[in-house]
Chains A and B, each alone.
Chain A
Amino acid sequence: MTAAQLQALPLQDAPPTWTRRLRGFGAVLPALVFVLLLFVVPVLALLLRSITEPTLGLGNYAAFFAGTTYLKVLGNTFLVASLVTGASLVIGFPTAWFLAIAPRRLAGLLAGIVVLSMWTNLLARTYAWMVLLQGTGLINRALLGLGLISAPLTLTNNLIGVTLGMTYIMLPFMVLPLTSAMRTIDPSVLQAASLCGATRWQCLTRILLPMLSGPIASGALMIFVMSLGYFVTPALLGGTANMMLPELIAQLVQSLLDWGLASTAATILLVLTLILYSLQVRFFGTRSTA
Protein backbone atom coordinates (compact mmCIF):
# COMPACT_ATOMS: atom_id res chain seq x y z
CA MET A 1 0.00 0.00 0.00
CA THR A 2 1.22 3.50 -0.76
CA ALA A 3 1.24 6.26 1.80
CA ALA A 4 -1.66 7.94 0.01
CA GLN A 5 -3.74 4.77 0.15
CA LEU A 6 -3.00 4.36 3.85
CA GLN A 7 -4.05 7.94 4.50
CA ALA A 8 -7.35 7.34 2.78
CA LEU A 9 -8.27 4.40 5.03
CA PRO A 10 -10.91 5.27 7.64
CA LEU A 11 -8.81 4.54 10.74
CA GLN A 12 -9.61 5.33 14.37
CA ASP A 13 -6.33 7.05 15.18
CA ALA A 14 -6.46 9.33 12.14
CA PRO A 15 -6.74 12.98 13.20
CA PRO A 16 -10.39 13.97 13.66
CA THR A 17 -11.79 15.65 10.59
CA TRP A 18 -14.98 17.67 10.45
CA THR A 19 -16.91 14.82 8.89
CA ARG A 20 -15.78 12.45 11.63
CA ARG A 21 -16.78 14.91 14.31
CA LEU A 22 -20.17 15.33 12.68
CA ARG A 23 -20.57 11.57 12.44
CA GLY A 24 -19.83 11.28 16.16
CA PHE A 25 -22.43 13.88 16.96
CA GLY A 26 -24.88 12.13 14.62
CA ALA A 27 -24.48 8.94 16.65
CA VAL A 28 -25.35 10.80 19.84
CA LEU A 29 -28.23 12.72 18.28
CA PRO A 30 -31.12 10.20 18.63
CA ALA A 31 -30.49 9.75 22.36
CA LEU A 32 -29.98 13.48 22.77
CA VAL A 33 -33.34 14.27 21.17
CA PHE A 34 -34.96 11.60 23.32
CA VAL A 35 -33.48 12.97 26.55
CA LEU A 36 -34.31 16.57 25.60
CA LEU A 37 -37.94 15.78 24.79
CA LEU A 38 -38.64 13.36 27.63
CA PHE A 39 -36.42 14.73 30.34
CA VAL A 40 -35.22 18.30 29.95
CA VAL A 41 -38.46 19.78 28.60
CA PRO A 42 -40.88 18.08 31.03
CA VAL A 43 -38.69 18.74 34.09
CA LEU A 44 -38.24 22.41 33.16
CA ALA A 45 -41.97 22.69 32.45
CA LEU A 46 -42.68 21.24 35.89
CA LEU A 47 -40.31 23.67 37.60
CA LEU A 48 -41.90 26.54 35.72
CA ARG A 49 -45.35 25.64 37.02
CA SER A 50 -44.21 26.46 40.54
CA ILE A 51 -44.15 30.15 39.60
CA THR A 52 -46.99 30.22 37.08
CA GLU A 53 -49.80 28.27 38.74
CA PRO A 54 -52.33 29.39 39.78
CA THR A 55 -50.96 32.92 39.19
CA LEU A 56 -47.60 34.28 38.15
CA GLY A 57 -45.32 34.96 41.09
CA LEU A 58 -43.71 33.41 44.11
CA GLY A 59 -47.02 32.76 45.88
CA ASN A 60 -46.43 29.01 46.04
CA TYR A 61 -43.08 29.42 47.73
CA ALA A 62 -44.60 31.87 50.22
CA ALA A 63 -47.34 29.32 50.95
CA PHE A 64 -44.80 26.51 51.31
CA PHE A 65 -42.65 28.35 53.83
CA ALA A 66 -45.49 30.15 55.62
CA GLY A 67 -47.37 27.38 57.37
CA THR A 68 -45.92 24.70 59.61
CA THR A 69 -47.44 21.83 57.58
CA TYR A 70 -44.95 21.84 54.72
CA LEU A 71 -42.00 22.91 56.82
CA LYS A 72 -42.68 19.94 59.06
CA VAL A 73 -42.52 17.65 56.02
CA LEU A 74 -39.26 19.25 54.96
CA GLY A 75 -37.83 18.91 58.47
CA ASN A 76 -38.96 15.31 58.66
CA THR A 77 -37.30 14.57 55.31
CA PHE A 78 -34.00 15.86 56.68
CA LEU A 79 -34.48 14.03 59.98
CA VAL A 80 -35.09 10.64 58.32
CA ALA A 81 -32.26 11.14 55.82
CA SER A 82 -29.87 12.04 58.67
CA LEU A 83 -30.92 9.10 60.83
CA VAL A 84 -30.57 6.67 57.93
CA THR A 85 -27.17 8.10 56.99
CA GLY A 86 -25.97 7.91 60.60
CA ALA A 87 -27.19 4.35 61.07
CA SER A 88 -25.66 3.23 57.77
CA LEU A 89 -22.36 4.75 58.83
CA VAL A 90 -22.29 3.21 62.31
CA ILE A 91 -23.30 -0.25 61.06
CA GLY A 92 -21.52 -0.01 57.72
CA PHE A 93 -18.03 0.85 58.97
CA PRO A 94 -17.37 -2.27 61.09
CA THR A 95 -19.12 -4.43 58.49
CA ALA A 96 -16.86 -3.12 55.73
CA TRP A 97 -13.86 -3.56 58.01
CA PHE A 98 -14.80 -7.18 58.62
CA LEU A 99 -15.45 -7.77 54.90
CA ALA A 100 -12.09 -6.28 53.95
CA ILE A 101 -9.98 -8.48 56.20
CA ALA A 102 -12.01 -11.61 56.99
CA PRO A 103 -10.92 -15.00 55.61
CA ARG A 104 -11.92 -15.28 51.98
CA ARG A 105 -14.80 -17.70 52.24
CA LEU A 106 -16.48 -15.90 55.12
CA ALA A 107 -16.07 -12.53 53.39
CA GLY A 108 -17.36 -13.97 50.11
CA LEU A 109 -20.47 -15.32 51.81
CA LEU A 110 -21.24 -12.02 53.54
CA ALA A 111 -20.58 -10.03 50.34
CA GLY A 112 -22.98 -12.36 48.52
CA ILE A 113 -25.68 -11.65 51.13
CA VAL A 114 -25.10 -7.90 50.82
CA VAL A 115 -25.46 -8.01 47.04
CA LEU A 116 -28.51 -10.33 47.16
CA SER A 117 -30.28 -7.99 49.56
CA MET A 118 -29.39 -5.00 47.41
CA TRP A 119 -30.76 -6.60 44.26
CA THR A 120 -33.96 -7.96 45.75
CA ASN A 121 -37.07 -6.12 44.60
CA LEU A 122 -37.57 -2.98 46.68
CA LEU A 123 -41.24 -3.68 47.34
CA ALA A 124 -40.47 -7.25 48.41
CA ARG A 125 -37.94 -5.98 50.96
CA THR A 126 -40.30 -3.31 52.28
CA TYR A 127 -43.12 -5.84 52.50
CA ALA A 128 -40.90 -8.19 54.52
CA TRP A 129 -40.18 -5.40 57.00
CA MET A 130 -43.88 -4.54 57.25
CA VAL A 131 -44.52 -8.15 58.25
CA LEU A 132 -41.54 -8.38 60.60
CA LEU A 133 -42.35 -5.15 62.40
CA GLN A 134 -46.13 -5.50 62.80
CA GLY A 135 -47.66 -5.86 66.28
CA THR A 136 -47.70 -9.66 66.07
CA GLY A 137 -44.53 -9.78 63.99
CA LEU A 138 -41.35 -11.69 64.65
CA ILE A 139 -39.47 -8.77 66.23
CA ASN A 140 -42.20 -8.00 68.76
CA ARG A 141 -42.71 -11.67 69.62
CA ALA A 142 -38.98 -12.19 70.07
CA LEU A 143 -38.75 -9.19 72.40
CA LEU A 144 -41.84 -10.36 74.32
CA GLY A 145 -40.44 -13.88 74.52
CA LEU A 146 -37.15 -12.62 75.91
CA GLY A 147 -39.09 -10.62 78.48
CA LEU A 148 -37.54 -7.35 77.32
CA ILE A 149 -40.93 -5.74 76.79
CA SER A 150 -44.35 -6.46 78.34
CA ALA A 151 -46.57 -5.20 75.50
CA PRO A 152 -45.95 -5.13 71.72
CA LEU A 153 -44.18 -1.99 70.51
CA THR A 154 -45.50 0.05 67.64
CA LEU A 155 -42.76 -0.33 65.06
CA THR A 156 -44.49 0.55 61.77
CA ASN A 157 -46.05 3.82 60.65
CA ASN A 158 -43.50 5.74 62.67
CA LEU A 159 -39.92 6.92 62.66
CA ILE A 160 -38.53 3.57 63.85
CA GLY A 161 -40.10 1.66 60.97
CA VAL A 162 -39.00 4.06 58.28
CA THR A 163 -35.44 4.37 59.64
CA LEU A 164 -35.02 0.62 59.93
CA GLY A 165 -36.50 -0.12 56.50
CA MET A 166 -34.44 2.58 54.78
CA THR A 167 -31.21 1.68 56.55
CA TYR A 168 -31.70 -1.87 55.31
CA ILE A 169 -31.88 -0.51 51.76
CA MET A 170 -29.01 1.99 52.03
CA LEU A 171 -26.50 -0.13 53.97
CA PRO A 172 -24.98 -1.82 50.87
CA PHE A 173 -24.17 1.62 49.42
CA MET A 174 -21.94 2.24 52.43
CA VAL A 175 -20.53 -1.25 52.88
CA LEU A 176 -19.48 -2.04 49.30
CA PRO A 177 -17.47 1.12 48.43
CA LEU A 178 -15.95 1.26 51.92
CA THR A 179 -14.82 -2.36 51.69
CA SER A 180 -13.00 -1.79 48.42
CA ALA A 181 -11.43 1.39 49.81
CA MET A 182 -10.17 -0.52 52.87
CA ARG A 183 -8.73 -3.27 50.71
CA THR A 184 -6.49 -0.74 48.95
CA ILE A 185 -4.83 0.30 52.22
CA ASP A 186 -1.49 -1.37 52.78
CA PRO A 187 -1.55 -3.12 56.20
CA SER A 188 2.15 -2.37 56.66
CA VAL A 189 1.26 1.31 57.14
CA LEU A 190 -0.45 0.28 60.38
CA GLN A 191 2.41 -2.02 61.28
CA ALA A 192 4.81 0.87 60.90
CA ALA A 193 2.63 2.99 63.16
CA SER A 194 2.53 0.40 65.88
CA LEU A 195 6.27 -0.19 65.62
CA CYS A 196 6.65 3.51 66.28
CA GLY A 197 4.64 3.03 69.42
CA ALA A 198 1.09 3.91 68.40
CA THR A 199 -1.66 2.20 70.37
CA ARG A 200 -4.54 0.49 68.60
CA TRP A 201 -6.83 3.39 69.33
CA GLN A 202 -4.29 5.79 67.84
CA CYS A 203 -3.92 3.55 64.79
CA LEU A 204 -7.68 3.66 64.31
CA THR A 205 -8.29 7.34 64.92
CA ARG A 206 -5.07 8.82 63.57
CA ILE A 207 -4.43 6.57 60.57
CA LEU A 208 -7.25 4.31 59.47
CA LEU A 209 -10.12 6.79 59.84
CA PRO A 210 -8.28 9.74 58.23
CA MET A 211 -7.23 7.52 55.33
CA LEU A 212 -10.85 6.51 54.84
CA SER A 213 -12.41 9.93 55.42
CA GLY A 214 -12.93 10.46 51.67
CA PRO A 215 -14.89 7.27 50.97
CA ILE A 216 -16.81 7.58 54.25
CA ALA A 217 -17.92 11.15 53.54
CA SER A 218 -18.70 10.34 49.93
CA GLY A 219 -20.80 7.30 50.86
CA ALA A 220 -22.63 9.23 53.57
CA LEU A 221 -23.42 12.09 51.22
CA MET A 222 -24.68 9.69 48.57
CA ILE A 223 -26.95 7.90 51.05
CA PHE A 224 -28.23 11.22 52.36
CA VAL A 225 -29.13 12.43 48.84
CA MET A 226 -30.78 9.13 47.92
CA SER A 227 -32.77 9.13 51.18
CA LEU A 228 -34.10 12.64 50.53
CA GLY A 229 -35.72 11.44 47.31
CA TYR A 230 -37.04 8.07 48.49
CA PHE A 231 -40.72 7.43 48.02
CA VAL A 232 -41.81 3.81 48.38
CA THR A 233 -40.37 2.75 51.73
CA PRO A 234 -41.33 5.91 53.66
CA ALA A 235 -44.83 5.75 52.21
CA LEU A 236 -45.33 2.14 53.33
CA LEU A 237 -43.40 2.11 56.63
CA GLY A 238 -43.55 5.73 57.75
CA GLY A 239 -47.24 6.55 57.81
CA THR A 240 -48.82 9.95 57.30
CA ALA A 241 -47.46 11.50 60.50
CA ASN A 242 -43.92 11.07 59.14
CA MET A 243 -44.50 12.19 55.60
CA MET A 244 -41.44 13.04 53.54
CA LEU A 245 -41.08 15.40 50.60
CA PRO A 246 -41.51 12.81 47.80
CA GLU A 247 -44.75 11.49 49.29
CA LEU A 248 -46.02 15.05 49.71
CA ILE A 249 -45.34 15.72 46.02
CA ALA A 250 -47.19 12.56 45.00
CA GLN A 251 -50.17 13.41 47.20
CA LEU A 252 -50.38 17.00 45.98
CA VAL A 253 -50.50 15.72 42.41
CA GLN A 254 -52.65 12.63 42.78
CA SER A 255 -55.16 13.53 45.49
CA LEU A 256 -55.21 17.31 45.71
CA LEU A 257 -54.42 18.12 42.07
CA ASP A 258 -52.49 21.15 43.32
CA TRP A 259 -49.87 21.32 40.58
CA GLY A 260 -48.51 24.69 41.64
CA LEU A 261 -47.62 23.56 45.13
CA ALA A 262 -46.48 20.12 43.93
CA SER A 263 -44.08 21.79 41.50
CA THR A 264 -42.82 24.00 44.30
CA ALA A 265 -42.06 20.99 46.50
CA ALA A 266 -40.47 19.22 43.51
CA THR A 267 -38.28 22.26 42.79
CA ILE A 268 -37.12 22.38 46.41
CA LEU A 269 -36.28 18.66 46.37
CA LEU A 270 -34.51 19.02 43.03
CA VAL A 271 -32.42 21.99 44.12
CA LEU A 272 -31.41 20.26 47.37
CA THR A 273 -30.41 17.14 45.45
CA LEU A 274 -28.40 19.05 42.87
CA ILE A 275 -26.56 21.11 45.49
CA LEU A 276 -25.58 18.01 47.46
CA TYR A 277 -24.69 16.12 44.29
CA SER A 278 -22.44 18.90 43.01
CA LEU A 279 -20.71 18.91 46.41
CA GLN A 280 -20.15 15.19 45.94
CA VAL A 281 -18.70 15.65 42.46
CA ARG A 282 -16.59 18.58 43.55
CA PHE A 283 -15.00 16.91 46.56
CA PHE A 284 -15.01 13.24 45.66
CA GLY A 285 -15.21 13.15 41.85
CA THR A 286 -17.98 11.47 39.90
CA ARG A 287 -19.17 8.13 40.99
CA SER A 288 -22.15 6.31 39.57
CA THR A 289 -25.00 5.77 42.00
CA ALA A 290 -25.96 2.55 40.26
Chain B
Amino acid sequence: MLLTYSRLGGLRFVLCGIGLTVGLFLLLPILVLVALSFGDSQWMQFPPPGWTLRWYADLFDDPDWIFAFLTSLRIAAWVTVLSVALGLVTSFGLVRSRFPGRETVRALFLMPMILPVVVLAVALYALFLRLQLNGTELGFVLAHLLLALPLSIISISGALERFDPSIEDAAVLCGASPMEAKIRVTLPAIMPGIATAALFSFLASWDEVVVAIFMASPDIQTLPVRIWGVLRQDLSPVVAAVSTLLVALTAVLMLLSAALKKKDVRA
Protein backbone atom coordinates (compact mmCIF):
# COMPACT_ATOMS: atom_id res chain seq x y z
CA MET B 1 0.00 0.00 0.00
CA LEU B 2 0.96 3.67 -0.08
CA LEU B 3 3.11 3.43 3.01
CA THR B 4 4.54 -0.03 2.41
CA TYR B 5 7.53 0.16 0.09
CA SER B 6 7.40 -3.42 -1.17
CA ARG B 7 3.71 -3.14 -2.10
CA LEU B 8 3.86 0.15 -3.97
CA GLY B 9 4.22 -1.47 -7.38
CA GLY B 10 5.10 0.92 -10.20
CA LEU B 11 4.81 3.93 -7.94
CA ARG B 12 7.86 2.61 -6.11
CA PHE B 13 10.08 3.41 -9.07
CA VAL B 14 8.62 6.89 -9.43
CA LEU B 15 9.28 7.66 -5.75
CA CYS B 16 12.70 6.09 -5.90
CA GLY B 17 13.52 8.20 -8.97
CA ILE B 18 12.39 11.39 -7.24
CA GLY B 19 14.32 10.51 -4.09
CA LEU B 20 17.52 9.87 -5.97
CA THR B 21 17.12 13.01 -8.11
CA VAL B 22 16.64 15.13 -5.00
CA GLY B 23 19.65 13.47 -3.41
CA LEU B 24 21.71 14.38 -6.46
CA PHE B 25 20.31 17.93 -6.45
CA LEU B 26 21.36 18.33 -2.82
CA LEU B 27 24.76 16.73 -3.33
CA LEU B 28 25.67 18.44 -6.62
CA PRO B 29 26.75 21.85 -5.23
CA ILE B 30 28.90 20.18 -2.58
CA LEU B 31 30.60 17.90 -5.13
CA VAL B 32 31.13 20.88 -7.44
CA LEU B 33 32.80 22.85 -4.64
CA VAL B 34 35.23 20.06 -3.91
CA ALA B 35 36.02 19.46 -7.59
CA LEU B 36 36.55 23.16 -8.30
CA SER B 37 38.87 23.60 -5.36
CA PHE B 38 41.21 20.99 -6.85
CA GLY B 39 40.61 21.99 -10.49
CA ASP B 40 43.16 24.15 -12.34
CA SER B 41 40.67 26.35 -14.18
CA GLN B 42 40.73 29.99 -13.14
CA TRP B 43 37.31 30.47 -14.77
CA MET B 44 35.55 27.74 -12.82
CA GLN B 45 35.27 25.41 -15.76
CA PHE B 46 33.52 22.23 -14.79
CA PRO B 47 34.57 19.47 -15.00
CA PRO B 48 38.05 20.93 -14.52
CA PRO B 49 40.63 20.38 -17.31
CA GLY B 50 43.32 19.35 -14.81
CA TRP B 51 44.06 19.12 -11.12
CA THR B 52 46.08 21.37 -8.83
CA LEU B 53 46.60 22.37 -5.21
CA ARG B 54 47.26 25.95 -6.25
CA TRP B 55 44.12 27.44 -4.65
CA TYR B 56 44.94 25.86 -1.30
CA ALA B 57 48.49 27.24 -1.55
CA ASP B 58 47.05 30.68 -2.39
CA LEU B 59 44.72 30.40 0.56
CA PHE B 60 47.40 29.51 3.09
CA ASP B 61 49.79 32.14 1.68
CA ASP B 62 47.29 34.94 2.09
CA PRO B 63 47.58 36.49 5.57
CA ASP B 64 44.13 38.03 5.18
CA TRP B 65 42.46 34.62 4.94
CA ILE B 66 44.48 33.26 7.87
CA PHE B 67 43.66 36.32 9.91
CA ALA B 68 39.93 36.03 9.14
CA PHE B 69 40.03 32.33 10.03
CA LEU B 70 41.69 33.02 13.39
CA THR B 71 39.31 35.89 14.14
CA SER B 72 36.30 33.65 13.44
CA LEU B 73 37.75 30.91 15.59
CA ARG B 74 38.45 33.24 18.51
CA ILE B 75 35.00 34.80 18.38
CA ALA B 76 33.24 31.44 18.04
CA ALA B 77 35.25 30.03 20.97
CA TRP B 78 34.24 32.93 23.24
CA VAL B 79 30.63 32.66 22.12
CA THR B 80 30.61 28.90 22.81
CA VAL B 81 31.98 29.27 26.34
CA LEU B 82 29.72 32.18 27.27
CA SER B 83 26.63 30.68 25.65
CA VAL B 84 27.03 27.34 27.44
CA ALA B 85 27.74 28.98 30.81
CA LEU B 86 24.83 31.41 30.54
CA GLY B 87 22.57 28.74 29.04
CA LEU B 88 23.34 26.34 31.88
CA VAL B 89 22.52 28.78 34.67
CA THR B 90 19.43 30.03 32.84
CA SER B 91 18.16 26.52 32.13
CA PHE B 92 18.36 25.59 35.81
CA GLY B 93 16.33 28.68 36.60
CA LEU B 94 13.76 27.95 33.89
CA VAL B 95 13.35 24.22 34.52
CA ARG B 96 13.73 23.92 38.28
CA SER B 97 11.74 26.83 39.65
CA ARG B 98 8.29 28.33 39.32
CA PHE B 99 8.70 32.08 39.53
CA PRO B 100 5.85 34.23 38.18
CA GLY B 101 6.24 35.16 34.51
CA ARG B 102 8.45 32.17 33.78
CA GLU B 103 6.77 31.33 30.47
CA THR B 104 7.04 34.93 29.28
CA VAL B 105 10.72 34.96 30.11
CA ARG B 106 11.24 31.67 28.28
CA ALA B 107 9.46 33.02 25.18
CA LEU B 108 11.57 36.18 25.33
CA PHE B 109 14.77 34.11 25.35
CA LEU B 110 13.71 32.35 22.15
CA MET B 111 12.69 35.55 20.36
CA PRO B 112 16.10 36.38 18.81
CA MET B 113 15.79 33.10 16.90
CA ILE B 114 12.45 34.00 15.31
CA LEU B 115 13.20 37.57 14.30
CA PRO B 116 14.62 38.13 10.79
CA VAL B 117 18.38 38.36 11.32
CA VAL B 118 18.66 41.49 9.23
CA VAL B 119 16.38 43.40 11.63
CA LEU B 120 18.51 42.27 14.55
CA ALA B 121 21.68 43.19 12.67
CA VAL B 122 20.51 46.73 11.91
CA ALA B 123 19.26 47.25 15.48
CA LEU B 124 22.58 46.09 16.96
CA TYR B 125 24.51 48.13 14.41
CA ALA B 126 22.71 51.29 15.56
CA LEU B 127 23.34 50.47 19.23
CA PHE B 128 26.99 49.60 18.67
CA LEU B 129 27.57 52.81 16.69
CA ARG B 130 26.65 54.64 19.85
CA LEU B 131 28.72 52.42 22.14
CA GLN B 132 31.62 52.35 19.65
CA LEU B 133 31.53 48.57 19.60
CA ASN B 134 31.36 48.19 15.82
CA GLY B 135 34.51 46.65 14.42
CA THR B 136 35.56 45.24 17.81
CA GLU B 137 35.78 41.60 18.81
CA LEU B 138 33.66 42.33 21.87
CA GLY B 139 30.90 43.58 19.57
CA PHE B 140 31.04 40.39 17.49
CA VAL B 141 30.97 38.19 20.59
CA LEU B 142 28.00 40.02 22.14
CA ALA B 143 26.01 39.97 18.89
CA HIS B 144 26.70 36.30 18.19
CA LEU B 145 26.00 35.38 21.81
CA LEU B 146 22.50 36.78 21.33
CA LEU B 147 21.96 34.36 18.41
CA ALA B 148 23.61 31.39 20.13
CA LEU B 149 21.89 31.70 23.53
CA PRO B 150 18.43 30.44 22.42
CA LEU B 151 20.00 27.31 20.91
CA SER B 152 21.96 26.69 24.09
CA ILE B 153 18.90 27.18 26.31
CA ILE B 154 16.81 24.80 24.16
CA SER B 155 19.42 22.02 24.24
CA ILE B 156 20.31 22.28 27.94
CA SER B 157 16.81 22.80 29.33
CA GLY B 158 15.66 19.89 27.17
CA ALA B 159 18.27 17.63 28.73
CA LEU B 160 17.46 18.96 32.19
CA GLU B 161 13.74 18.28 31.74
CA ARG B 162 14.48 14.65 30.84
CA PHE B 163 16.60 14.24 33.98
CA ASP B 164 14.65 13.15 37.08
CA PRO B 165 15.43 15.65 39.88
CA SER B 166 14.75 13.04 42.56
CA ILE B 167 18.10 11.47 41.64
CA GLU B 168 19.73 14.72 42.70
CA ASP B 169 17.65 14.56 45.88
CA ALA B 170 18.93 11.07 46.54
CA ALA B 171 22.50 12.42 46.48
CA VAL B 172 21.49 15.15 48.93
CA LEU B 173 19.88 12.57 51.19
CA CYS B 174 23.13 10.61 51.09
CA GLY B 175 24.94 13.65 52.45
CA ALA B 176 26.02 15.70 49.43
CA SER B 177 25.55 19.45 49.55
CA PRO B 178 23.05 20.77 46.95
CA MET B 179 25.87 22.27 44.88
CA GLU B 180 27.91 19.07 45.08
CA ALA B 181 24.88 17.04 43.99
CA LYS B 182 24.36 19.34 41.00
CA ILE B 183 27.98 19.20 39.90
CA ARG B 184 28.64 15.50 40.50
CA VAL B 185 25.26 13.97 39.67
CA THR B 186 23.17 16.24 37.47
CA LEU B 187 25.92 17.79 35.36
CA PRO B 188 27.37 14.49 34.07
CA ALA B 189 23.84 13.27 33.30
CA ILE B 190 23.00 16.27 31.12
CA MET B 191 26.44 16.37 29.48
CA PRO B 192 25.15 15.35 26.01
CA GLY B 193 22.73 18.30 26.11
CA ILE B 194 25.58 20.61 27.10
CA ALA B 195 27.77 19.28 24.30
CA THR B 196 24.95 19.81 21.79
CA ALA B 197 24.55 23.36 23.11
CA ALA B 198 28.28 23.96 22.62
CA LEU B 199 28.18 22.57 19.08
CA PHE B 200 25.18 24.68 18.02
CA SER B 201 26.57 27.79 19.70
CA PHE B 202 29.88 27.37 17.91
CA LEU B 203 28.18 26.94 14.54
CA ALA B 204 25.80 29.86 15.18
CA SER B 205 28.81 32.14 15.44
CA TRP B 206 31.15 30.39 13.01
CA ASP B 207 28.68 30.39 10.09
CA GLU B 208 26.98 33.68 10.87
CA VAL B 209 27.23 36.26 8.11
CA VAL B 210 24.43 38.85 8.22
CA VAL B 211 25.16 40.40 11.62
CA ALA B 212 28.88 40.03 10.92
CA ILE B 213 28.63 42.08 7.71
CA PHE B 214 27.28 44.98 9.75
CA MET B 215 29.79 44.59 12.61
CA ALA B 216 32.84 44.17 10.40
CA SER B 217 35.37 46.89 9.66
CA PRO B 218 38.40 46.79 7.35
CA ASP B 219 40.49 45.87 10.39
CA ILE B 220 38.41 42.99 11.66
CA GLN B 221 36.62 40.42 9.50
CA THR B 222 35.34 36.95 10.18
CA LEU B 223 35.72 34.19 7.63
CA PRO B 224 32.12 34.49 6.30
CA VAL B 225 32.52 38.26 5.93
CA ARG B 226 35.69 37.76 3.92
CA ILE B 227 33.98 35.16 1.68
CA TRP B 228 31.06 37.53 1.22
CA GLY B 229 33.40 40.36 0.25
CA VAL B 230 35.23 38.22 -2.31
CA LEU B 231 31.98 36.84 -3.77
CA ARG B 232 30.58 40.29 -4.37
CA GLN B 233 33.54 40.95 -6.69
CA ASP B 234 34.26 37.71 -8.52
CA LEU B 235 33.99 33.93 -8.29
CA SER B 236 37.57 33.24 -7.21
CA PRO B 237 38.52 29.52 -6.99
CA VAL B 238 40.14 30.30 -3.63
CA VAL B 239 36.60 30.52 -2.25
CA ALA B 240 36.06 26.94 -3.45
CA ALA B 241 39.08 25.87 -1.41
CA VAL B 242 37.77 27.65 1.70
CA SER B 243 34.32 26.18 1.14
CA THR B 244 35.70 22.67 0.77
CA LEU B 245 37.49 23.01 4.10
CA LEU B 246 34.24 24.26 5.64
CA VAL B 247 32.34 21.27 4.19
CA ALA B 248 34.94 18.93 5.68
CA LEU B 249 34.51 20.64 9.05
CA THR B 250 30.72 20.29 8.73
CA ALA B 251 31.01 16.58 8.02
CA VAL B 252 33.17 16.11 11.12
CA LEU B 253 30.76 18.08 13.31
CA MET B 254 27.83 16.11 11.87
CA LEU B 255 29.40 12.82 12.86
CA LEU B 256 30.11 14.29 16.29
CA SER B 257 26.51 15.37 16.66
CA ALA B 258 25.22 11.96 15.59
CA ALA B 259 27.44 10.38 18.25
CA LEU B 260 26.08 12.81 20.84
CA LYS B 261 22.51 12.03 19.89
CA LYS B 262 23.11 8.33 20.33
CA LYS B 263 24.58 8.98 23.76
CA ASP B 264 21.71 11.26 24.72
CA VAL B 265 19.15 8.61 23.82
CA ARG B 266 20.98 6.02 25.86
CA ALA B 267 21.32 8.31 28.89
Q: Decide: B29 and A13 in contact? CB cutoff 8 A.
A: no
Residue in B closest to A273 when the chains form the complex, CB atoms: B116
Besides A98-B18, A125-B30, A187-B1, 5 new A-B residue pairs in contact (Cβ under 8 A), listed by A number: A12-B165, A35-B149, A116-B254, A124-B247, A128-B29
- Give every chain B residue within 8 A of A200 (Cβ-Cβ): 2, 11
Is A4's CB within 8 Å of the partner chain B?
no
Segment of A56-64, A100-108, A146-154 engaged in the interface with chain B: A100-108
How distant is the Cα of A141 from the Cα of B46 in the complex, in angstroms?
9
Number of interface residues of A (CB under 8 A): 102
B122 close to A25 (CB less than 8 A): no
Check if B19 is an interface residue, CB within 8 A of chain A: yes
Whether the Cβ atoms of B165 and A46 lie closer than 8 Å is: no
Interface residues, chain B, with chain A CB atoms under 8 Å away: 1-5, 8, 11, 14-16, 18-20, 22-23, 25-30, 32-33, 36, 43-46, 86-87, 89-90, 92-94, 96-100, 102, 105, 108-127, 142-143, 145-146, 149-151, 153-154, 165-166, 168-169, 172-173, 178, 200, 203, 207, 209-210, 213-214, 224, 227-228, 231-232, 235, 239-240, 242-243, 246-247, 250-251, 253-254
Which chain B residue has the least Cβ–Cβ distance from A92? B22
Interface residues of A in 1-15 (CB under 8 A from B): 9-13
Query: How many A-B pairs with Cβ below 8 Å?
Result: 294
Is A42 in contact with B126, judged by CB distance below 8 angstroms?
Answer: yes
Instruction: Known contacts A27-B90, A249-B122; decide if A110 and B224 are in contact (CB<8 Å).
Output: no
A127 touches B254 (CB 8 A): no
Is A39's CB within 8 Å of the partner chain B?
yes
- Choose among B15, B46, B127, B207 the residue that contacts A121 (Cβ–Cβ < 8 A): B207
Please pick, from B1, B43, B93, the residue contacting A203 in the complex, using a CB distance under 8 A: B1
Q: How far is the CA of A184 from the CA of B139 in the complex (A)?
A: 45
Indicate if A115 sits at the interface (CB-CB under 8 A): yes
Closest to B179 in A: A10
Complex interface: chain A residues within 8 A of B172 (CB): 9-11
Judge whether B92 and A27 touch: CB under 8 Å.
Answer: yes
Chain B residues within 8 Å of A204, by CB: 2
Q: Which of A79-105 contact B (CB under 8 A)?
A: 91, 94-95, 97-103
In the complex, are the beta carbons of A134 and B18 less than 8 A apart? no
Cα(A113)–Cα(B97), bound, Å? 41
- A269 touching B29 by the CB < 8 A rule? no
- Contact B111–A27 (Cβ < 8 Å): no
Chain A 256-290 near chain B by CB (<8 Å), digits 1 or 0: 00010011001001100110010000000000111
Other-chain residue from B28, B100, B200, B213 in contact with A290 (beta carbon distance below 8 A): B200
Known contacts being A101-B5, A115-B254, A194-B1, is A125 close to B29, with CB within 8 Å?
yes
Residues A24 and B117 in contact, CB atoms below 8 Å apart: no
Classify the secondary structure of B's interface with A. Answer: helix
Q: Is the CB of B43 within 8 A of A136?
A: yes
Partner of B210, one of A22, A114, A208, A231: A231
Q: Is the interface of A mostly helix, strand, loop or mixed?
A: helix
**CB pair B44 A123 closer than 8 Å:** no
Which 5 A/B pairs are nearest by Cβ-Cβ distance? A24-B97, A229-B116, A27-B93, A128-B29, A124-B243
Contact between chains at A11 and B5 (CB < 8 Å): no
CA distance A25 to B125 in the complex (A): 30
Given that A39-B146, A95-B18 are known contacts, is A27 also in contact with B89, CB under 8 Å in the complex? yes
28 contacts between A and B (CB under 8 A): A12-B165, A16-B98, A28-B90, A28-B99, A31-B90, A35-B111, A35-B146, A42-B126, A42-B127, A94-B15, A101-B4, A102-B16, A125-B29, A127-B235, A128-B32, A130-B235, A131-B36, A131-B46, A208-B3, A229-B118, A232-B210, A236-B231, A253-B125, A262-B122, A266-B118, A266-B123, A274-B114, A290-B150
